[in-house]
Structure 1
Amino acid sequence: MRVLFVHHDANSGDGHVGRAFSALGADVVVHQVCTGPGSPVGSPDLPDPTAFDRVVLFGSRWSVDDPAVAHWVEPELEMLRSADRAGVPVMGLCFGGQILATALGGSVGRTAHPEVGWCRVDVAPEGEAAGIEPGPWLQWHFDAFTVPPGATELARSIAGPQAFAAGPHLGLQFHPEADRAVLEGWIVDDLDQLVDAGHDAASLMDEADAHHVDAAERAARLVRRFAG
């Protein structure tokens, strides 16, 4: 299995999700969009998704509709529509789920209930069948997506939809990849968001350690289901 990982921020990590794909023997190719810590400047040149069996989109501190990232968001939307036409399954994590929803006809906007920390989600019967579990999952988002037309909502929280399935694609609002190392990378750029949300970095790290084994197992089950 050849898998494309698209990382949007310079300090993005693949954590539990990366290890789960490695355990399956996947050949993972990493594409980095932005290379400067905290910078929205990124490359609009993206790989051809039809050269891969699966595509995984990771998170970002930026909003899909932020003009500062339009120079790479627009080409990525076209890449995702190309993957959809070719039937290449895409899994989007947080921002990745938001840009996937947008590519498929959904929308993204500020939620009245931003989530930061380890939270459980309410899973629909269709979500259970698709391998979505209640968690807790690491959340770090201020935006939320709508479920694209024709897609099925799999889970939700007070913030809005938490997961959807659209054909072979899976959009998630949470971060199954998150472990201590991933969080340490985010905090390089995003400590301001954490402080503004009233959270303490050390406590978030301690929770990541406490959830490490269970979160890894949940992520592995999710990846196995997505990898088919």
Structure 2
Amino acid sequence: MKPVAILQHEAAQGPGILLDHLRQQGMAHVLLDPCAQGSAPADARDYRGIIVLGSNHCANEQLRWIEDERCLLQSALLHDVPVLGHCFGAQMLARAMGARVWRNPCPNIGWSTVWVTRCAQQLMDLPAQASIFNWHYDTFEIPRGATRTMYGRHCLNKGFMRGRHWAFQGHLEVTAASVRQWCREGHEELLQAQGPGVQSEAQILDGLDQHLAGLHAMALRTYRAWTDQLEQPDAMVDDVLARFRLKSNDYLRRRP
């Protein structure tokens, strides 16, 4: 079975609990770093699904690897290879669908409440309201044919879906270690960032375990719903075929 491709761009922005979920499901995966490598794969059909994580770069930057990544996502859309985008990854998926990405009216950094639309509540088994972790300056418009899944107070479009392609303008995957590392690396940035959607380092870390408990419960439901859409592993297909053969053989033996 083809692996799930995980596109990671920053050391502090790894797959976190999403990787734990893939491993628990026995799903093969491959970690790629288009930013460091300077390019991204071209054909999405080489993968079972594509996950795009965050980045310190802007999705509109004119860099070769960003253009390569956009083309990879367009290949995924063309061949219906499911995509899951987080923050920068969500913006890249929006661009691949022909939607605009631009500066949000204010930075969105720290923990904030999002409201989940009814369709997303049903599809992903989510509550109507949740708290997610954010660290972004840009936003996107909802692509044509897509449906908004989440919205926030300081950033309207916090998520969308179109078929098996889902995007979230935030981070569901973070762990305590990655949030602390992010705050250390972004210490000066946090001192300079201003606006109603910005929290200080102390505010971000206050009650971190409680924030993460709620976030992880929501994230695992979301990830389970997304991975349920992927092609079944060969082992599962083989098991189904084996059980079918046993039933068939049993039926033939019972025939007069």
TM over 0.5: yes
Distance between the aligned counterparts of 2:38 and 2:207, measured in 1? 34
Alignment counterpart, residue 118 of structure 1, candidates 102, 111, 116: 111
Instruction: Describe how 1:174-213 pairs up with structure 2 within 5 A.
Output: 174-187=170-183, 189-197=185-193, 199-213=199-213
The alignment partner of 1:136 has SS state of strand
Distance between the aligned counterparts of 2:20 and 2:9, measured in 1? 19
TM-aligned CA deviation for residue 174 of structure 1: 1.2
Distance between the aligned counterparts of 1:81 and 1:147, measured in 2? 16
Residue 85 (structure 1) aligned with residue 78 (structure 2): yes
Residue in 1 that maps onto 2:61: 66
Letter of the structure 1 residue corresponding to residue 20 of structure 2:
R
Residue in 2 that maps onto 1:141: 136
Residue in 2 that maps onto 1:3: 4
Residues 19-39 of structure 1 deviation map (CA, whole Å, 9 limit, x = unaligned):
12222221121001234xxxx
Residue in 2 that maps onto 1:50: 45
Distance between the aligned counterparts of 1:207 and 1:96, measured in 2? 27
Structure 2 portions without partners, runs of 5+: 229-256
Which one has more relative contact order, counting CA pairs under 8 Å at least 6 apart? 1
Assess if the C-alpha contact under 8 Å between 2:115 and 2:130 holds in 1. Answer: no
Residue in 1 that maps onto 2:160: 164
Distance between the aligned counterparts of 1:18 and 1:202, measured in 2? 28
Residue 15 (structure 1) aligned with residue 10 (structure 2): no
Assess if the C-alpha contact under 8 Å between 2:99 and 2:140 holds in 1. Answer: yes
Distance between the aligned counterparts of 2:99 and 2:187, measured in 1? 29
Assess if the C-alpha contact under 8 Å between 1:11 and 1:188 holds in 2. Answer: no
Letter of the structure 1 residue corresponding to residue 135 of structure 2:
W
TM-aligned CA deviation for residue 189 of structure 1: 4.0
TM-aligned CA deviation for residue 222 of structure 1: 0.6
Structure 1 portions without partners, runs of 5+: 36-41
Distance between the aligned counterparts of 1:218 and 1:85, measured in 2? 29
TM-aligned CA deviation for residue 200 of structure 1: 3.5
Residue in 1 that maps onto 2:217: 217
Residue in 2 that maps onto 1:96: 89
Alignment counterpart, residue 75 of structure 1, candidates 68, 74, 78: 68
Could you say if the C-alpha distance between residues 99 and 45 of structure 1 is closer, same or farther in structure 2, counting changes exceeding 3 Å? closer
Instruction: Tell me the TM-score normalised to structure 1 length.
Output: 0.88
Residues 171-207 of structure 1 deviation map (CA, whole Å, 9 limit, x = unaligned):
1101001122222343454333322236433442343
CA RMSD of superposed structures (Å) = 1.9
Letter of the structure 2 residue corresponding to residue 214 of structure 1:
G
TM-aligned CA deviation for residue 88 of structure 1: 0.4
The alignment partner of 1:135 has SS state of strand
Distance between the aligned counterparts of 2:225 and 2:172, measured in 1? 13
Letter of the structure 1 residue corresponding to residue 110 of structure 2:
G
Residues 79-104 of structure 1 deviation map (CA, whole Å, 9 limit, x = unaligned):
00001111100000001000100001
Counting aligned pairs with the same residue, the percent is 28
Distance between the aligned counterparts of 1:21 and 1:195, measured in 2? 36
Distance between the aligned counterparts of 1:62 and 1:185, measured in 2? 18
